[in-house]
Amino acid sequence: MERTRGEAHGREPSSFGVQLSAQVAALHKFACYLSRDTVLAEDLVQEAFARALSAETRFVAGSNLKAWLFRILHNVFLDGVRRKRTNPVELRELNENDEDDDTDCSRDVWLRGDIEIDRLRRLVANDIDLALARLSVDARSVVLLDLEGFTEAEIAKVMDTPIGTVKSRLARARAALRERLQEYAR
């Protein structure tokens, strides 16, 4: 009898894939905020899943799968940014995209209800999206990972950065967000 890849590693068939698919929404949201482009975010998530599936044997059962996936996704995103920076045509597109404050990802309606409340929520969400978009990639990543509930130690692993660097980036990013969103602090 032929064994599937999952059975060969002591897991039920496709259980690893099921565990991965449980993280799709969180990964897509993270990718969307990183890239500020829904289509690119979908590509990033797909590439992250492809890398995760090919590296299944290196995943340590019982460790934090979510943090592992976020690290893969973060690395996929950074690989793309580095690749674009070395290609003059893609660099121009990258700079043009950075100037575009209106993102496809920010168009999602998060909460439903009264029409006026929905309009207000969209205005606030757009302001938050713009404030996040103005942060550097590293600062935005730290904030988004913090919002996902990762500890500073887990963020350090995801970003392959010392924990002290994570703490300082998080503090600076929070300060920048507070400054940009101070009208909502009342």
> Tens place of pLDDT for every residue, the chain, 186 residues?
444 444 444 544 458 888 888 889 889 988 988 888 889 999 999 999 999 988 888 888 888 888 899 999 988 988 888 787 776 655 455 445 544 444 445 444 444 445 666 666 677 778 888 888 899 989 999 998 998 889 999 999 999 999 999 999 999 999 998 898 888 766
CATH of the domain at 156: 1.20.140.160
155 in any annotated domain: yes
4 in any annotated domain: no
- What pLDDT score was predicted for residue 105? 54
9 in any annotated domain: no
- What pLDDT score was predicted for residue 108? 45
- Number of independent structural domains in the chain: 1
124 in any annotated domain: yes
- What pLDDT score was predicted for residue 172? 94
Q: Which domain holds residue 148?
A: 14-184
Which amino acid belongs to residue 43? D
| Residue 134 CB-half CA count within 13 A | 15
Which tens digit of pLDDT belongs to each residue from 165-174? 999 999 999 9
Q: What are phi and psi of 134, to 5 degrees?
A: -80, -10
5 in any annotated domain: no
1 in any annotated domain: no
> Cα 73–76–77 angle (5° rounding)?
90
Tokens representing 26? 């969180």
Query: 57 and 74 in contact (C-beta within 8 Å)?
Result: no
3 in any annotated domain: no
77 in any annotated domain: yes
Contacts of 105 (CB under 8 A, 6+ apart): 32, 33, 35, 36, 37, 38, 41, 129
Buried b (16+ CB within 10 A) or exposed e, 57-77: eebeeeeebbbbbbbbbbbbb
CA distances from 19 to 5, 83, 120, 159 (A): 15, 30, 36, 22
Tokens representing 186? 């009342």
Which amino acid belongs to residue 71? R
